[in-house]
Structure 1
């Protein structure tokens, strides 16, 4: 069982209407065993939120619930007032594709496809033309220092490069909410700086950025903090 504690750091979104709201959110993986128990969270535009807590306390699970990738046992999640669990599968997937970017802890890139095609995937999910978004994809890859890998296959890039490619994919459509699950866990210092700068840039553009992390250096860069105790 995990409770969410909001810590008192300055939040640039304070005073604005929260974009992501979870109320009494509960979830578990086996009948009778709860990972999260009635968690309440309100996340504001322009904030970079650190999500911390001991291993096994449900950080990744909470990210998946907030992004609509999992349905809660009980409670609600709303993004811009829309309750994701009430949508059918098609509309929930479409809303998620158009609203959320997700950086997975273990970035999985299709080994049969070029890096650039993996970055363009969100456009397909959102019903957009990938070609329209190709210039944006190349711009992001360049900003992340992996432009030369655009035509490579996933097996030809390092783990750190794959993580940055995953971030490019998450940011492609300029999502209003970005979820990042341990995005710097396997990166060196320079790559970590690149990733954090990109996430901070998304927040300056008005997005909510939520970073699940164990790294105190990442927490220090965030504007607010939710701790699963």
Structure 2
């Protein structure tokens, strides 16, 4: 069972955008992985979820994002209790509020890279064409603008990860969840990803990163240790 220790690195003010209270969850009914987790995550914060493998970093990330339902406890996103929403309502709230960066980026092989980056607009019910200039700007900032018309099979793993970051940040989400976003990247690509996530925090987003990478932890403003 994981214990949670919150280690603040910098003070952040303002109402929390993500609030967890007494979260408990496990994959076997008699063995909780997380038990009694309390968190308040505020705008501008970059939070590292750390701890040994198997201690619940990704699980906590998915609970905070509403991708998993806790055994007990609550998660509130911008004041909305995720546990009180139907699945479709929770999905729409995520689409309009959150961005996601995963370690293994999955891009639809049938679509151009640009279309993959525009997916969050479609899920949120916005006309994707309206977001094309921002998508192209993000691809340019991440050094993958030339890949906009390519297919996923024509880009490298590092390029795909940076494209995944562009997709996550398209809608300027208030909360960004990232699961081991630098795990498969070289130093330069990892720095580009972290710079983009830092930029989202400077614009007022909460950024939550599950990681075992000390380079990532050093750039975060607070740390949640699962031990």
Structure 2 counterpart of 1:113? 111
Query: Normalising to structure 2: TM-score of the pair?
Result: 0.97
Q: Secondary structure of the residue that 2:167 maps to in structure 1?
A: helix
Q: Secondary structure of the residue that 2:207 maps to in structure 1?
A: strand
4+ runs of 1 displaced by more than 4 Å?
A: none
Given the alignment, which residue of 174, 181, 195 partners 2:179?
181
Q: CA separation in 2, counterparts of 1:105 and 1:127?
A: 26
Q: How does 1:50-199 map to 2 (within 5 A)?
A: 50-199=48-197
Is 1:8 aligned to 2:8, yes or no? yes
Q: CA separation in 2, counterparts of 1:26 and 1:155?
A: 40
Structure 2 counterpart of 1:37? 35
Q: Secondary structure of the residue that 2:163 maps to in structure 1?
A: helix
1:31 offset after TM fit, Å?
2.4
Q: Secondary structure of the residue that 2:149 maps to in structure 1?
A: coil
1:131 offset after TM fit, Å?
0.5
Q: CA separation in 2, counterparts of 1:38 and 1:157?
A: 42
CA contact (8 A) 2:8 2:221 kept: no
CA contact (8 A) 2:121 2:128 kept: yes
Q: CA separation in 2, counterparts of 1:180 and 1:8?
A: 19
Structure 1: gaps of 5 or more residues: none
Q: How many residues align?
A: 227
1:80 offset after TM fit, Å?
1.2
Q: Secondary structure of the residue that 1:24 maps to in structure 2?
A: strand
Q: Secondary structure of the residue that 2:150 maps to in structure 1?
A: coil
Q: CA separation in 2, counterparts of 1:33 and 1:122?
A: 36
1:214 offset after TM fit, Å?
0.8
Q: CA separation in 1, counterparts of 2:30 and 2:167?
A: 36
CA contact (8 A) 1:25 1:75 kept: yes
Q: CA separation in 2, counterparts of 1:25 and 1:148?
A: 44
Q: Secondary structure of the residue that 1:183 maps to in structure 2?
A: coil
Q: What CA RMSD, in Å, does the superposition of the two structures yield over aligned residues?
A: 1.0
Structure 2: gaps of 5 or more residues: none
